Amino acid sequence: SAMELPFAESYKIKMVEPIRKSTREERERWIREADYNLFKLSSDKVFIDLLTDSGTGAMSDRQWSEMMLGDESYAGASSYFKMKEAIREILGFEYFLPTHQGRAAENVLFSALIHEGDIIPGNSHFDTTKGHIEFRKATACDCTIDEAFDTQKDHPFKGNVDPVKLENILKSSADRIPFIIVTVTCNSSGGQPVSLENLRMIRQIANRYGKMVIFDSARFAENAYFIKLREPACRDLSIRQIVSEMFACADAMTMSAKKDAIVNMGGFIAMRSEELFSKACVYNIMFEGYITYGGMSGRDMNALALGLYEGTEFDYLETRIRQVEYLGNKLMDMGIPVQRPIGGHAVFVDAKRFLSHIPKEEFQAQTLAIELYLEAGVRAVEIGTLLADRDPVTRENRYPALELMRLAIPRRVYTNNHMDLVATALKNIFDRKSAIQKGYRIKAEAPIMRHFTVALEPA
Ligand code: F0G
């Protein structure tokens, strides 16, 4: 009988970018000179860069063609209208404001909505989101389901909000809550999706308390893919139909287009309310630029608009997410502890389990990321104690429930041979992990979002 054809990518490669290998001796010197902070390494010192999937994707030939058609008019550019049309058609929002990236969208929208003392419930807020909340002397309240914090427990929607946790905070503090924010997929819990059922339930709870629901939508299309695969009621819906159903539950959204719109730079806010739009316009003009470009050039708006269409095609999403799964499955087969199931944009290695003999005060996930760089020139990122930062009041280190090393896979960039190399490098470290005797300590750090610039030394 005929064999089932293997899975293969839904694109071919038209342009390549050489990357450079290095020796372990070189890497030992480079990482020391970078104060053991992978953000401080220049990219030519990295062989496979899995620091982030943000802005690191490869645009399609069609997106590059759109770049040539960009309208760079200051006001009312056709590129603005292309973006407006894509947002209306795919996401269903009437009003939008371009911003230069996702955190800028947060800055503009939160300036209009958050006041000192407010509480913003959500599912494991991303660090810039939390930063923009705390910067305004408000607090982020994490209502993610408990299952998300056990990496070894399988659950199809570890990004879900726990309705009891959400109701509790609404019951006790409704007057201090301007909106609920839901991150799809939930980056901080491992690129884990939120089910459509959960989004609808959040909408219902919000309605009962008269609250807005805002989606942090950086990876909304990956979320829709998981809904299609894992939520039986949605199996026969297209990705675009699922996306419509998801956003029907939201009043507004922030978007880092550097992820699921597959562009190198860009973002936006979208909303239904004209009143909120008018309020946000003021901040957009102040922080980003006039309302029809908001920090983006016309050509980038063109590529973004097309990226929204490409990013919501099933074949593209299947190719992308299956590659992440390919790496994740390899690591699981090797016995390496990872957040299960594998998320949409990255594999999250459980550093607390991997380096259980290193004390948490010595930054287990960062220690593992440094080892991986030394082993193979692969750059991962710490999603652990350094990122969690200090408590704004007590200034004590916050030790998060999960101490993860993230291997974020850029879209349409690396092949599965690169994934094989990453997996083998981690296996080598896993086999010799008892020889890793200590972690790192902080030499210098910034008062907020310290992980970008922190200087470390061996403990
Ligand atoms: N929200 C989520 C869920 C994100 O993952 C990010 C960025 C942002 C907001 C902010 O967007 O970078 O365009 O300003 N995440 C990147 C990452 C940095 O590596 O996960 P931005």
Q: Determine the Cα–Cα distance for residues 137 and 130; give it in Å rounded to an integer.
A: 11
Distance CA 21, CA 40 (A): 18
Identify residue 258 by its one-letter amino acid code.
K
Residues in the ligand 1 pocket, defined by CB under 6 Å: 52, 54, 101-103, 126, 128-129, 183, 187, 216, 218, 256, 258, 267
In the prediction, which pLDDT does 456 show?
97
Is residue 126 part of the annotated active site? The answer reads: yes
Q: Which residues contact 1 (CB under 8 A, 6 or more apart)?
A: none
CA gap 61, 44 in Å, rounded: 25
Distance CA 263, CA 306 (A): 10
What is the per-residue pLDDT for 448? 82
- The question of whether 127 is a catalytic residue gets the answer yes
DSSP three-state, residue 303: helix
Tokens for 325, please give them: 């799964």
Nearest-atom number in ligand 1 for the CA of 53 is 19
Burial class (CB in 10 A: 0-12, 13-18, 19+), 415: exposed
| Residue closest by Cα to atom 13 of ligand 1 | 102
Q: How far apart are CA 72 and CA 444, in angstroms?
A: 42
pLDDT in tens, 123-147: 999 989 999 999 999 999 999 999 9
pLDDT tens-place string over residues 396-405 = 999 998 899 9
pLDDT > 90? residue 60: yes
Q: Looking at the predicted structure, is the pLDDT value of residue 227 above 90?
A: yes
Please report the pLDDT score of residue 1 as a whole number: 85
Average pLDDT estimate for 3-8: 94
User: Which member of 127, 300, 350, 389 is catalytic?
Assistant: 127
Mean pLDDT of 408-418: 98
Residue 392, pLDDT score: 81
- Taking the CA of residue 187 as reference, the ligand 1 atom at the shortest distance is 3
* Number of alpha carbons in the 13 Å side-chain half-sphere of residue 7: 11
The tens digit of pLDDT for each residue in 34-53 reads 999 999 999 999 999 999 99
List pLDDT tens digits, range 295-346: 999 999 999 999 999 999 999 999 999 999 999 999 999 999 999 999 999 9
| For range 411-416, the mean pLDDT | 98
- Per-residue pLDDT at 188 exceeds 90: no
Portion of the chain with pLDDT greater than 90, in percent: 96
What's the confidence (pLDDT) of residue 393? 87
First to last CA, the chain: 60
Q: The dihedral of CA 40, 46, 50, 54: what is its sign?
A: positive
Write the pLDDT tens digit of every residue in 248-305. 999 999 999 999 999 999 999 999 999 999 999 999 999 999 999 999 999 999 999 9
Average pLDDT, the chain: 97
Annotated active-site residue in 71, 142, 216, 260:
216
Give the whole-angstrom CA distance, residue 243 versus residue 233. Answer: 14
Q: Determine the longest span between alpha carbons in the chain, in angstroms.
A: 68
